[in-house]
């Protein structure tokens, strides 16, 4: 009985591995890079020179610089919603090396109309991240413009 169970688990594992490997290699493009897992969305990469660094969050080897526009900071301080098109950027450093960017963009008039996109250091879309997860977590901050750093934004001088 045990031998049959091991054999069936082994067969299932082999079949699963074959599907995984086949799927991986079928997503390879002519350049040898992996095709995008997630589609691009409405989020654009902003001109970083137009943004203000309003706080830094540190956790172990992770350092996150938070950026947004002066107009967004003024609106937040005044208790007003930020304008449609506003970007909030998390610049993610791992061991002091730029790793990626997370860009949140206000895409509609409603307080919950934000979209997220990850980008590589070269500002191309980092499609292997689950942006739906970003939205679901930030949704808990709807009263704070979807920002975990809302208090830092209001205190920025």
pTM: 0.71
Query: Which pLDDT value is given to residue 40?
Result: 65
Q: And the tokens for 126? A: 């980092």
Residues 53, 65 contacting (CB under 8 angstroms) = yes
Sign of the C-alpha dihedral computed for residues 60, 69, 45 and 37 taken in this order:
positive
pLDDT band at residue 24 under the 50/70/90 scheme: very low
Residues 108-142: tens digit of each pLDDT: 998 788 888 999 999 999 888 777 776 666 666 66
Residue 85 confidence (pLDDT) above 80: yes
Q: And the tokens for 52? A: 């203000």
Residue 80 confidence (pLDDT) above 80: yes
> Helix H segments across 27-149?
70-77, 131-138
Residues 33-64: tens digit of each pLDDT: 333 344 567 799 999 999 999 999 999 999 99
């Amino acid at each position: 009985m045990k031998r049959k169970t091991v054999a069936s688990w082994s067969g299932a594992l082999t079949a699963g591995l074959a599907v995984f490997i086949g799927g991986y290699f079928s997503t390879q493009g002519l350049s040898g890079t992996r095709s995008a897992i997630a589609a691009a969305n409405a989020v654009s990469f902003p001109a970083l020179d137009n943004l203000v660094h309003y706080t830094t969050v540190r956790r172990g080897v992770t350092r996150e610089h938070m950026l947004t526009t002066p107009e967004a900071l003024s609106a937040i301080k005044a208790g007003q919603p930020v304008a449609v098109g506003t970007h909030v950027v998390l610049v993610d450093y791992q061991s002091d090396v730029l790793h990626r960017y997370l860009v949140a963009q206000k895409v509609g008039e409603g307080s919950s109309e934000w979209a997220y996109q990850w980008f590589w250091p070269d500002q191309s879309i980092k499609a292997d991240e689950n942006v739906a997860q970003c939205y679901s977590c930030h949704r808990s901050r709807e009263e704070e413009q979807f920002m975990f750093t809302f208090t830092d934004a209001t205190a920025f001088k």
